[in-house]
Amino acid sequence: MGDKRTADYFHENHIPKKCVFIENEYAEIVCRKLNIEYRTCFRGFNRGCPIYSGVFIYKTDLLIFSNFLREYSENINTVLKNEIGIKSADTWRKIFKTVTKYLEIRQMLGLEDVQR
C-alpha cells in the first residue's frame, strides 16, 4: 500500500490491488486495536477542509477484521443503550419525585383528597 498513512479514494477504480475498502465509523479504531496495516481514505474537500472516511485494508485481514468490527459495533451499541436506559430511569425518578412533592403540597393546601 505504500508508506503514506492516507490514500486517495474517489471511486471504485482507486482501490489498490489486494485491498478492500471499508467505510465504517469504527474501522480505523478496529484496525489500530488489531494492529492491522491500513490506510485512511481521502475522499475530497468540503469548504477547503479535507474529508477522510473509510480505510483500505488487505484482503487477507478481512475475515478477522469483519468479525472484530461486528463484535466491537455490538459492544458499543450495548453500552450506548445502557447509558440511554440509565438516563431515562433517572428522568423517571425525577418525575415521580416532583409529582410526589406536588401532591403533598396540594394535600397540605386541602386541594386534593387523600386517596391511598
Whole-number pLDDT of residue 13 = 81
CA 27 – CA 40 distance, rounded (Å) = 9
Is residue 1 in a domain? no
Amino acid at 87: K
Domain that holds residue 74: 6-109
Task: Report the number of distinct structural domains present in the chain.
Answer: 1
Sequence-ordered list of residues with C-beta below 8 angstroms from that of 10, at least 6 positions apart, any chain: 43, 44
Is residue 115 in a domain? no
Of 49, 59, 44, 45, the residue nearest 8 (C-alpha): 44
Is residue 114 in a domain? no
CA 46 – CA 102 distance, rounded (Å) = 52
Q: Cα separations (Å) of 101 from 41, 42, 97?
A: 57, 57, 6
| All cell numbers assigned to 99 | 409529582
| All cell numbers assigned to 75 | 459492544
| All cell numbers assigned to 17 | 490491488
First to last CA, the chain: 74
pLDDT in tens, the chain (116 residues): 666 788 888 878 878 889 999 999 999 999 999 999 999 999 889 999 998 989 999 999 999 999 999 999 999 989 888 888 888 888 888 998 999 898 888 888 888 665 55
Q: Please report, for the domain that includes residue 43, its CATH number.
A: 3.30.70.2460
CA 109 – CA 101 distance, rounded (Å) = 12
Is residue 54 in a domain? yes
